[in-house]
Amino acid sequence: MSTATSMPILTCSLVLLTSSFLINFANGGSFTDDIRISWGNGRGKILDNGKILTLSLDQYSGSGFESTHEYLYGRLDVQIKLVAGNSAGTVTTFYLSSKGPAHDEIDFEFLGNVTGEPYTLHTNVFAQGKGDREQQFHLWFDPTKDFHTYSILWNPQHVIFLVDNIPIRDFKNHESRGVFFPKKQPMRLYSSLWNADDWATQGGLVKTDWAQAPFTAYYRNFNANACVWNGRSSSCSSADKPMGSTPSSSTKGDWYRHELDSYSYRRMRWVQRKYMVYNYCADIKRSPRGRPRECRLR
């Protein structure tokens, strides 16, 4: 199938799948059981009996929340409506991280911009303290107009980033080929809204306009279908079946063995061709001796 033919069809598929996924999430979870506001001195709020969470940023402080549990593998979904208007200098995050200098981390970061310019969706994967695996995207919708679902699917073979259930990135386990993969350290979920105007917008050229403060991001429908870590082991009873997982819209166990089928892979590659704006694998200045090993493997 030619590119000229496939792109409109895939565009239509993205729209239809996005709409159906948002509808399926309409009756989703609460923030009261699995999430706590971790910092911000009142700038983070849980509202409407746990259905809505807001994070705010002003010239004095940002704010953030974290999960009450640590996880060793899982699928974690949340709907976010990002800071509207002139959001330059602000960063909204949704990520998993362990502790320590050799930590693991899986990042969604949303880099704000001046009014009318697109957000940059920044993704990264750290394993045993090694990161520098950034891929960045512009989105096919305005993420400030409505809630959209952002998901991290993390299992022993894949870290898959999804937007409205559409895969945009798949970081595969190539440990057998000498590439570190996050698989041994339990991670907690974090989210924050903070000022990063030294780098976030056009490399720090555009600063935060504090006259627009407070900046606010909105969250709803957090779901964690995951292996909960209890300090010594996880709630997964075996290598292939999670038990004791918290509720999710997906079937228990599906995410643990999930990998992209050919159709999902084609959708991901289309998103990458059309909307990716930075790929560390193609950054010759960063890697003058050749692409990182994982970029040469399939």
What is d(CA 23, CA 34) in angstroms, rounded to the nearest whole number?
23
Q: Which residue in 105, 134, 259, 294 is the catalytic one?
A: 105
Please report the DSSP string for 266-284 in residue order.
HHHHHHHHHHEEEEGGG-T
Q: Which residue in 70, 109, 117, 294 is the catalytic one?
A: 109
CA proximity to 58, closest of 211, 203, 190, 207: 211
Burial category of 79 from C-beta neighbours within 10 Å (exposed 0-12, middle 13-18, buried 19 and up): buried
Yes or no: say if 204 and 196 are a contact pair by the CB < 8 Å rule.
no
Angle between helices 262-275 and 3-24 (to 10 degrees): 110
Active site residue 117: no
Yes or no: say if 70 and 50 are a contact pair by the CB < 8 Å rule.
no
What is d(CA 169, CA 159) in angstroms, rounded to the nearest whole number?
8
107-145 in b/e form (b: 16+ CB < 10 A) is: bbbbbbbeeeebbbbbbbbbbbeeeebbbbbebbeebbe
Active site residue 259: no
Straight-line distance from the first to the last Cα atom of the chain, in angstroms, rounded to the nearest whole number: 22
Please list the active-site residues. Answer: 105, 109
